[in-house]
Amino acid sequence: MARVLVVDDDAGIRESVAIAAEKSGHAVFRAASVASARALLATERVDVVVSDIYMPGDTGLVLLDEIRELDPRPATILMTARGSLETAALAERGEAFDYIAKPFDLVEMMARIAAAVAPVRHEILEIEPAPPSMMVGAHPSMIALYRAISKIAPLAVPVLVRGESGTGKELVARALHSLGSRPDGPFVALNCGAVPDTLLESELFGHIRGAFTDARQDRRGALVRADGGTLFLDEIGDVSPAFQVRLLRFLQEGTVTPLGSEKELRVAVRVIAATHRDLRAMVAAGRFREDLYFRLAGYEIGVPALRERASDIPLLVDHFRRKLAGELGRAEIEGPSRALIERLTLHPWQGNIRELEQAVRRIAIDTGALTDAVAAGRVLREMSGPSSPSLEIAPAVADASEPEAGAELGSLDDAEKRHILAVLEAARGNQTQAAFILGIERKTLARKMKRYGIEARGRD
Contacts of 94 (CB under 8 A, 6+ apart): none
3-state secondary structure of 208: coil
Contacts of 179 (CB under 8 A, 6+ apart): 125, 127, 149, 150, 153, 154
pLDDT of residue 437: 61
pLDDT < 70 positions in the chain: 1, 81-95, 118-134, 207, 210-216, 385-415, 426-427, 433, 436-439, 458-460
d(CA 150, CA 40): 32
Q: Which of 292, 289, 283, 275 is nearest to 238 (CA)?
A: 275
d(CA 355, CA 347): 11
pLDDT of residue 123: 40
pLDDT of residue 384: 77
d(CA 39, CA 22): 21
Distances (CA, A) of 120 to 92, 116, 309, 357: 20, 8, 17, 24
pLDDT of residue 23: 80
pLDDT of residue 217: 75
220 has which bridge partners? 206
d(CA 381, CA 394): 11
d(CA 347, CA 251): 42
d(CA 335, CA 347): 18
pLDDT of residue 389: 39
3-state secondary structure of 419: helix
The secondary structure element, H or E, covering residue 70 is: none
pTM score of the predicted model: 0.59
Distances (CA, A) of 321 to 105, 128, 330, 334, 365: 22, 20, 11, 8, 11
Exposure string of 366-379, with b = 16+ CB inside 10 Å and e = fewer, is: ebebbbbbebbbeb
d(CA 37, CA 326): 43
The secondary structure element, H or E, covering residue 428 is: none
pLDDT of residue 280: 94
What domains sit in the chain, N to C, each tagged with a CATH number? Answer: 3-115 (3.40.50.2300), 140-302 (3.40.50.300), 309-384 (1.10.8.60), 398-460 (1.10.10.60)
pLDDT of residue 82: 53
Q: Are 292 and 251 in contact (CB under 8 A)?
A: yes
Q: How many CA atoms lie within 13 A of 222 on its CB side?
A: 23
d(CA 390, CA 394): 13
Q: Are strands 219-220 and 206-207 parallel, antiparallel or unpaired?
A: antiparallel
- Other CB atoms within 10 A of residue 23 CB: 16
Q: How many CA atoms lie within 13 A of 82 on its CB side?
A: 8
Exposure string of 105-116, with b = 16+ CB inside 10 Å and e = fewer, is: bbbebbbbbbbb
